[in-house]
Structure 1
Amino acid sequence: MNIVKEPLPGGSALARDYIENFEKVSHLYGGDFRSRERRSIRAEWLDRNESLRADRTQIAECLRQYNEKHNSHDAVKASLALLEQQGTLVVTGGQQSGLFTGPLLVVYKAMTTIMAAKEAAEQLDRPVVPLFWIAGEDHDWDEVNHTYVLNRTQEITKIKIEKSEEKRSSVSNIRVEEESWQQVVEQLDGLLQDSDFKLQIMEFIRSSSFRADSMTDAFAKLMGSLFGKFGLILLDSADPNLRKLEEPFFTSLIMQNDALETAYMNSASDIVNAGYELQADVTAGNANLFYIHEGVRLLLHKKDGVFADRKDQVSFTRDELLEEVKAHPKRFSNNVLTRPLMQDYVLPVLATVLGQGEIAYWAIPHRAFEVVGGQMPLIIPRMSFTVVEGTLHKHMDKYQLSFEDVRQGLDRKRHEWLAALDELGIERRFEETKASFSAMYEPLIEQLGTIQAGLLKLGNNNKDKILDQITFLQTKAQDAMVKQNEAAIRQWERIELSLMPLGKLQERVYNIMYYLNRYGLPWLDELMAIEPDYSGTHRIIYM
């Protein structure tokens, strides 16, 4: 593999400044992971404030039970043994559970988490373990129920799994029947090309899926199959055993809810006043907590001292809500703004791995950490890649295409290339013919109009029909040119479909299974051997 940096424009201005000009936005964040000094300062703060967090022995035991079911590797057991010890720190990354692990960016986030933990352990000379926080409490089923692969004919194909219920439940609590798993697994099997590795890949997909009750279960088993050997601990945010341990902090979130609301609103003002757009909703009266009622996840709002959902299906005074969380902690769930706080309570988080969108909205809770006596962890930009297979690289060289050309869209380049092949000058000659015809015919039509007014309209209609026929022949000639170069056109299309599917970066669309099927499971080891880079720069992997 050959790795080349490829800076990409775009993304939110706030995330770009975090990556490229940290001092400008340092007041919105806890610190930059890329600074060794900040790592040491954060580690010392975590040591001093061990008592503010959940009991690490209980947390480690809870995670041991979960990983024993889905991620039972000796390296994970070793990571959990370290986590149990005083002084061990954690680097976290996280994502919603996705079908067959979801888009490639999920894999890259796990890679970044593992590499960053290893580097921090070496620099700080103390144990630092990697942990992947599966956002199983999220309820956006439509976001996680599908994935995309390149099929045997190099076309984009969407695979979607159905659920057996329509409730707005947390993804971890949505049951997926074995029949549904069989349908999507067999669909994937039919789409992937035959290869030396396909039997092995499909086997571990089947073993992970057919033993799973939910999307989160299957996701955890697959992530464990891929990354367990690197010691990556998995955590499901909807784990009922974890909920019990989170109860004291849910109590704090309720007790200090008004102060937290003020902190979020003030942070939002800080961001807007600095000239940036908010990347998450901050609204007055939002409790930033969900309550699970009859399996449905309801967002709570505050009004006149009462916590209720928008449709008043549930309603609590503050004291009633405090009693409810003490009696039934598993009925409570974080939202996007309280999750960072909960993560910092549950784990000794040295740093967390985030994509650019996440970096932008993590600026919103920066004041809220102070309200609960915490401190914002360091943030690591997720590593970002585009994989260019060898054949595609040759095609790009052949047509003198850069990745930037592909990213901007190839229509203009492809048209220019076809025009250069037109030795007969077909397009030019047709345009000249139409112009010459119009120049000769229009004066005649005008003269006919002096004989009889109706002839002017008839003449113009006649002219348009003749021009339409010339254009029709021009189109047929162009189609013939394309057909004559059909193989080359397919190469252009494959470049675009592979590198910018659906007009998006490859890592946001395609699933890793296509590449594991092409290159085998050892390909992941090759990725893990890539030099870590936390600069936020996109990189091209030329196979």
Structure 2
Amino acid sequence: MAVSELSQVLLSKIPFNKTNSFSRSFLDYIEGKEALTSFYNRLPSIENFKLQIEEKHFSNENRAVLSKVLQKQYDEFELSEATVQNIELLKAGTTFTVTTGHQLNIFTGPLYFIYKIVTVINACKALKKQYPAYDFVPVYWMASEDHDFEEISYFRFNGKKFSWKTDQTGAVGRFDPKSLKPIFDEIISLPDFFKEAYLKRNTLAEAGRHYVNALFGDEGLVIIDADNTELKNILKPVMFDDIFKHSANDLVTETSAQLDKAGYKTQVFPREINFFYLKEHIRSRIVKEDGVFHVLDTEIRFSESELRAEIENHPERFSPNVVLRPLYQEMILPNLAYVGGPSELVYWLQLKEVFTHFKTPFPMLMPRNFAGVVTPNIQRKIEKSGLSFEDIFKPEEALTQEKVKENTTNQLSLNQELEHLKSIFAEVLSVAKPIDTTLEKLVAAEQKRAENSIQKIEKKLLKAEKRNQEVLVNRISAIKESLFPGGSPQERKDNFLNFYLSDPAFIQNCLDSLDAFDYQFHLIAGS
């Protein structure tokens, strides 16, 4: 697609199946392959939202709890008019949400975090235009109860990895972020909203709310921290069912077997009990052994009656794992769709029967925006190399060979010579075989040795031609390293600061150029 056909910021859009970047499970889902249709309700087209709206019945009581909790969580934050209005709108029966969730990676973590939130914001704008009688609120769900510190403890900026060192344990949202100060000493150009978030707020969850609100508050984004007693009260029936009846384990195990039978790898493995015990510096699994409930790696023990009383009196101490967190989300939000990456959406396919069991509508599963930022320098290299935007998704070695061969006047292929060699050995065999049939193996071995020599020479020719075209080879290498640093997609490795610090309009450009309902890979111009 020519650049002139698109906006100044949006350079091109590449179909997912031309990017060599996605699993068969994800591609089959988004393409609506019949083998997967029983594992979700409906595909995420904007037209299908009408049916989702009709199906999503959300009680006024839960709306009141949600609005009250959000107002309290934002109590000491400066809110935009758009966010204030959206929190108020959530009380109305005609308001629905589109939600994305993510870990509390420091300094936002990988670039795709930004794309996730851009997707929910743009989806809500498009839905409002399509369905003006309703209101749609973009929501970011902070994974504040997650305890995998290693996954959130670093980010990559200007090619260097920066890590957070702390000995805090438990749910990361409760961590004190002030020990991040050494990173501010090392990167003096960090924006003030990060300094205010990490050095003045008391918890990592508060810090996350602070900087995400600074980046997206004007768009009306609502940020929710589900580590909350009033919200956990809504989840109590699920706690009792899962811990004492194990319904989720049975249902997900059966669905996983069906997916495996259909040829799809499953990613989530349920347990008999899918809750962690959450208290102070602890988030540990609950297991039952010999009639007693244990909190792993602690001395905490409960009889059944004691555990039932603990759930009843302290639901905030029970944290769902990956199997039940999605259900929790849909029980406390008037949500229509979940926006996630390819692995996230695929594991949701294992969960539909859990939603049916708990009489909760299964949300539509929307892919987040996928994008690569092409700086002017890299764009020039692409043009000078004679590459199309689709070309840059090819494996580097294959792409380099293809372009070197296109740009040479020398003969690099020895296929004709190889075929001639084969005909010579065929003649030799025709002479040798009548004399002594045992010579057949010798002729075959010598032929193989000669073919290997020809192929070795051909590789040397290509290697020498690469040296002759060193400028082209280096350009391709630079292009690939920019958009696939270390062999990984840019959006999964680089931090948004790589672009935001030189272009404060970066996020606005993303909002303007990414289309929430256009399921293709977007290439956008950087500065």
User: Is the shorter-chain TM-score for this pair beyond 0.5, marking a shared fold?
Assistant: yes
Please list every run of 5 or more consecutive structure 2 residues that lacks an aligned counterpart in the other structure.
1-8, 415-459
Quote the residue 2:212 is aligned against: 223
Distance 1:361 1:216 in 2: 25
The answer as to 2:481 corresponding to 1:497 is yes
Distance 1:296 1:421 in 2: 61
Quote the residue 2:86 is aligned against: 79
The answer as to 2:90 corresponding to 1:102 is no
The offset of 1:422, in angstroms, is 10
On the 8 A contact 2:336/2:364 being kept in 1, the answer is yes
Distance 2:186 2:150 in 1: 19
Quote the residue 2:491 is aligned against: 507
Quote the residue 2:317 is aligned against: 331
On the 8 A contact 2:41/2:362 being kept in 1, the answer is yes
Quote the residue 2:455 is aligned against: none
On the 8 A contact 1:76/1:229 being kept in 2, the answer is yes
- CA-to-aligned-CA distance 1:281-304 (integer Å, 9 cap, x gap): 234x3x111102552211123456
Distance 2:110 2:336 in 1: 26
Please list every run of 5 or more consecutive structure 1 residues that lacks an aligned counterpart in the other structure.
190-197, 429-473
What SS does the corresponding residue of 1:147 show, helix, strand or coil? strand
Aligned-partner residue type, residue 386 of structure 1? G
- CA-to-aligned-CA distance 1:217-256 (integer Å, 9 cap, x gap): 3322211111110000001232xxx233322423433235
The offset of 1:263, in angstroms, is 1.3
Distance 2:100 2:94 in 1: 20
Distance 2:483 2:165 in 1: 28
Q: Which of 56, 59, 70 does residue 50 from structure 1 map onto?
A: 59
Aligned-partner residue type, residue 119 of structure 1? A
Distance 2:323 2:107 in 1: 27
> Where in structure 2 are the equivalents of 1:198-209 lying within 5 Å?
202-209=191-198
**Counterparts in 2 of 1:30 and 1:110: CA distance versus 1, 3 Å:** same
Distance 1:294 1:228 in 2: 30
> Where in structure 2 are the equivalents of 1:112-127 lying within 5 Å?
112-124=119-131, 125-127=133-135
Quote the residue 1:528 is aligned against: 511
Quote the residue 1:269 is aligned against: 257
Which segment is superposed worse, 354-363 or 303-312? 303-312
**Counterparts in 2 of 1:529 and 1:42: CA distance versus 1, 3 Å:** same
The offset of 1:416, in angstroms, is 7.9
The offset of 1:383, in angstroms, is 0.9
The answer as to 2:515 corresponding to 1:516 is no
Distance 2:282 2:140 in 1: 25
The offset of 1:144, in angstroms, is 0.6
**Counterparts in 2 of 1:273 and 1:69: CA distance versus 1, 3 Å:** farther
Distance 1:264 1:515 in 2: 41
Which segment is superposed worse, 5-14 or 112-121? 5-14
Distance 2:335 2:216 in 1: 20
**Counterparts in 2 of 1:258 and 1:208: CA distance versus 1, 3 Å:** closer
Aligned-partner residue type, residue 172 of structure 1? G
Give the paired residue count: 466
Q: Which of 130, 133, 141 does residue 133 from structure 1 map onto?
A: 141
* TM-score computed with the length of structure 2 as normaliser: 0.80
- CA-to-aligned-CA distance 1:373-430 (integer Å, 9 cap, x gap): 21211111111100111111111121223455444443465578789999999xx9xx
On the 8 A contact 1:268/1:282 being kept in 2, the answer is no
**Counterparts in 2 of 1:116 and 1:417: CA distance versus 1, 3 Å:** closer
Distance 1:412 1:320 in 2: 63
On the 8 A contact 2:97/2:333 being kept in 1, the answer is yes
- CA-to-aligned-CA distance 1:22-53 (integer Å, 9 cap, x gap): 543121012222152x3222212223x526xx
On the 8 A contact 1:164/1:176 being kept in 2, the answer is no
Aligned-partner residue type, residue 349 of structure 2? A
Q: Which of 317, 326, 340 does residue 340 from structure 1 map onto?
A: 326
> Where in structure 2 are the equivalents of 1:15-34 lying within 5 Å?
15-34=26-45
Quote the residue 2:450 is aligned against: none
Which segment is superposed worse, 391-400 or 403-412? 403-412
* TM-score computed with the length of structure 1 as normaliser: 0.78
Which segment is superposed worse, 22-31 or 333-342? 22-31
Distance 1:424 1:11 in 2: 37
Quote the residue 1:212 is aligned against: 201
Quote the residue 2:163 is aligned against: 160
The offset of 1:60, in angstroms, is 0.8
Distance 1:129 1:413 in 2: 43
Aligned-partner residue type, residue 341 of structure 2? G
On the 8 A contact 1:97/1:219 being kept in 2, the answer is yes
Q: Percent identity?
A: 25
On the 8 A contact 2:226/2:232 being kept in 1, the answer is no
**Counterparts in 2 of 1:357 and 1:138: CA distance versus 1, 3 Å:** same
The offset of 1:184, in angstroms, is 1.1
**Counterparts in 2 of 1:272 and 1:489: CA distance versus 1, 3 Å:** closer
What SS does the corresponding residue of 2:76 show, helix, strand or coil? helix
The offset of 1:212, in angstroms, is 2.8
Quote the residue 2:346 is aligned against: 360
On the 8 A contact 1:70/1:217 being kept in 2, the answer is no
What SS does the corresponding residue of 2:42 show, helix, strand or coil? coil
**Counterparts in 2 of 1:307 and 1:396: CA distance versus 1, 3 Å:** same
> Where in structure 2 are the equivalents of 1:95-494 lying within 5 Å?
95-124=102-131, 125-149=133-157, 151=158, 156-165=159-168, 167=169, 169-177=170-178, 180-189=179-188, 202-238=191-227, 242-256=228-242, 257-283=245-271, 285=272, 287-293=273-279, 295-303=281-289, 306-311=292-297, 313-411=299-397, 491-494=475-478
The offset of 1:158, in angstroms, is 0.6
Distance 1:418 1:39 in 2: 49
The answer as to 2:519 corresponding to 1:539 is no
On the 8 A contact 2:143/2:225 being kept in 1, the answer is yes
- CA-to-aligned-CA distance 1:448-504 (integer Å, 9 cap, x gap): xxxxxxxxxxxxxxxxxxxxxxxxxx9xx98xx97x999877654432221001211
Distance 2:257 2:384 in 1: 51
The offset of 1:2, in angstroms, is 3.0
Quote the residue 2:433 is aligned against: none
The offset of 1:529, in angstroms, is 1.5
**Counterparts in 2 of 1:533 and 1:110: CA distance versus 1, 3 Å:** closer
Distance 2:398 2:231 in 1: 58
What SS does the corresponding residue of 2:522 show, helix, strand or coil? strand
- CA-to-aligned-CA distance 1:47-86 (integer Å, 9 cap, x gap): 3x526xx621121121122234346222111110101223
Distance 2:502 2:402 in 1: 33
Q: Which of 83, 89, 95 does residue 88 from structure 1 map onto?
A: 95
Please, what is the CA RMSD of the aligned residues? 3.1
**Counterparts in 2 of 1:309 and 1:45: CA distance versus 1, 3 Å:** same
Distance 2:489 2:471 in 1: 25
